[in-house]
């Protein structure tokens, strides 16, 4: 029996693939490399010393998904595949709804057809929107303000409805807070296409001299120093959360959402200073106006993950910053074609 990982060549998918291989699972990865690179597959094999089955296609191709389910003996699905840039989703709603919703519907249909009853879905803290008080708990109402966020909300609702109709079905929607850092080997990490949208890869590229300085989006929020506060979580902790969630689905039924966060918020300036201290670098920055769509403060109540998944984050902020810098230094161009090592 194998675990199907869609988007398994991506940032979080590849770290999770390593965790599953190390735990002794057989895995099948489907990826179209729209936000990843073939070299990641070799890196996963290098790190684990294990092999796995891989298919390259986009999940909007329902026929190809059915062929994979017919050929492979799939026990559960971890669904990462999807576009994830908030700003881009506002400009390209059809692309986002097609790629994120048609794809997951195709996967769910194939699961139903082949009696695969366990799925872990890559959701996001973005579903907590603007109006919930911190710390965010899973029982709070969910909403969205952009097609990327709505694709997460709609998929969580679909999973809840399928679980109501299918007593043997088990779905766990993992609501990620802010994933950062990289595997200790420095062989895999976050490799944004073009200029990074997210804070940590942007800081890393400033430290590497690829970008001139960091623009801090607003310092007039009602926070410790006026800059935005988020719950940053080491991607290796996040990957372990998927392994624990998989074990949960193999012993339970029903539909649940679970926060994967540390429960600790840090401001942008605190992240800048932590990165500088951990890596003995200087990050020049300017203060710019707020970014549209940003909330002031967001961090998790991680109680449910501890109770149900027997999981909690263990990596420190220093380890998050040091591993991000180790990856950046080892891979100055990420996984891009002109990659040097």
Where does this chain bind ligand WQD (CB under 6 A)? 84, 86, 124, 126, 176, 178, 197-199, 202, 214-217, 228, 230, 268, 291, 294
Residue 120's nearest CA partner among 243, 270, 292 is 243
Q: Exactly one of 148, 176, 232, 335 is catalytic; which is it?
A: 148
Q: DSSP label at 314?
A: -
Residue with smaller CB distance to ligand WQD, 69 or 266:
266
Q: What is the DSSP track for 134-180?
A: SSB-TTS----SSHHHHHHHHHHHHHHHHHHH-TT-EEEEEEE-EEE
Could you give the angle at which helices 62-71 and 103-113 cross, rounded to 10 degrees?
40
Q: Work out the number of other CB atoms within 10 angstroms of the CB of residue 12.
A: 23
CA distances from 1 to 77, 233, 324 (A): 11, 31, 34
- Listed in order, strand segments (DSSP E) in the chain are 2-6, 26-31, 53-56, 74-79, 118-124, 170-176, 178-180, 214-217, 229-230, 232-234, 254-260, 266-267, 285-288
Distance of closest approach, residue 125 Cβ to ligand WQD, in angstroms: 6
Distance of closest approach, residue 124 Cβ to ligand WQD, in angstroms: 4
Residue with smaller CB distance to ligand WQD, 50 or 290:
290
What is the torsion angle, in degrees rounded to the nearest 10, for the CA atoms of residue 329, residue 330, residue 335 and residue 341? Answer: 140
Distance of closest approach, residue 200 Cβ to ligand WQD, in angstroms: 7
Active site residue 150: no
Residue with smaller CB distance to ligand WQD, 114 or 217:
217
Distance of closest approach, residue 209 Cβ to ligand WQD, in angstroms: 16
Residue with smaller CB distance to ligand WQD, 69 or 177:
177
Distance of closest approach, residue 207 Cβ to ligand WQD, in angstroms: 13
Q: How far apart, in whole angstroms, are the C-alpha atoms of residue 302 and residue 304?
A: 6
Annotated catalytic residues are 148
């Amino acid at each position: 029996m194998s675990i199907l990982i869609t988007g398994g060549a991506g940032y979080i998918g590849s770290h999770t693939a390593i965790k599953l291989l190390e735990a002794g699972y057989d895995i099948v990865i489907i990826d179209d490399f729209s936000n990843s690179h073939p070299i990641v597959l070799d890196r996963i094999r290098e790190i684990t010393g294990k092999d796995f089955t891989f298919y390259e296609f986009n999940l909007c191709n329902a026929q190809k998904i059915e062929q994979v389910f017919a050929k492979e003996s799939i026990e559960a699905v971890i669904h990462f595949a999807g576009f994830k840039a908030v700003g881009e989703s506002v400009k390209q709603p059809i692309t986002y709804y097609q790629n994120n919703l048609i794809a997951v519907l195709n996967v769910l249909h194939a699961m139903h057809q082949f009696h695969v009853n366990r799925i872990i879905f890559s959701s996001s803290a973005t579903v907590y929107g603007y109006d919930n008080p911190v710390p965010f708990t899973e029982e709070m109402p969910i909403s969205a303000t952009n097609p990327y966020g709505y694709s997460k909300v709609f998929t969580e609702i679909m999973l809840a409805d399928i679980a109501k109709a299918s007593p043997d079905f088990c779905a766990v929607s993992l609501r990620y807070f802010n994933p950062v850092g990289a595997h200790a080997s420095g062989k895999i990490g976050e490799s944004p296409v073009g200029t990074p949208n997210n804070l940590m890869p942007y800081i890393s590229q400033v430290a590497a001299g690829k970008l001139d300085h960091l623009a801090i989006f607003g310092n007039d929020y009602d926070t410790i120093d006026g800059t935005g506060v988020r719950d940053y979580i080491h991607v290796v902790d996040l990957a372990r959360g998927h392994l624990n969630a998989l074990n949960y689905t193999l012993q339970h039924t029903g539909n649940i959402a679970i926060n994967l966060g540390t429960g600790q918020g840090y401001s942008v300036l605190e992240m800048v200073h932590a990165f500088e201290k951990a890596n003995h670098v200087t990050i020049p920055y300017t203060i710019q106006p707020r970014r549209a769509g940003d909330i002031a403060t967001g961090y998790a109540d991680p109680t449910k993950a501890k109770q149900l998944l027997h999981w909690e984050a263990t990596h420190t902020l220093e380890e998050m910053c040091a591993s991000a810098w180790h990856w950046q230094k080892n891979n100055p161009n990420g996984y891009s074609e002109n990659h040097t090592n």
